[in-house]
Structure 1
Amino acid sequence: MPHYTCTVQSQPPGEIRITLTGAIDLGSRGDLADAVKATTSLQPKTIHADLSGVSFFSAEGATFLLRLRKLADLNMLSLAPSLPVQRVLAGLGLTDTFRLGLTT
């Protein structure tokens, strides 16, 4: 049983919401890759990544976010990060790469 969840939902036309919860680490690699593939196939104009429920965030999670970032312009990717996510992004010097805030 995974120690995390990764869901991809189509929102209003042209938007997608990816929600991650739990511990995002090497064990979540396959599901994160599938989420990137699903996002690519849906070709959204806006990507919302809700990471407010993430309890642990490794470099694997940061790699996932960078892959999403490559799919979207800066204004088209918003994040709702938990404190563990914020710490990893800050430690990697990536806080300016993403628009951080709460999603509704």
Structure 2
Amino acid sequence: MVCSRNNEELLEIKRVYKEMFKKELDKEVAGDTSGDFAKLLLALVQTKRDEPSNVVDYEKIDEDARCLYEAGVQRKGTDVAVWISIMSQRSVPPPAESV
């Protein structure tokens, strides 16, 4: 669920977490997880996502797809940093408004 949240929502999650548990979410994630999963979660809670837009950037989609392919499928081993960067920084488009 965290993966689909925008920066504003992530900041609210962090605020409420601190209010409820009197602890910083970033530090808790770092202490309770490890490895690539921890890196992904920390990247997500750092709230560095692109701002959502109704405009679809097909060039950026193609570039990201190419980077993901080159960082995983095309090579032996996986360049996890590329995957984490794309998964944690790209925004999810806002939901369409119902008429």
Name the TM tier (shorter chain): under 0.3
User: Which protein is bigger by CA-based radius of gyration?
Assistant: 2
TM-score by length of 1: 0.27
TM-score by length of 2: 0.28
Which protein has greater RCO, CA pairs closer than 8 Å, 6+ apart? 2
Larger strand proportion, structure 1 or 2?
1
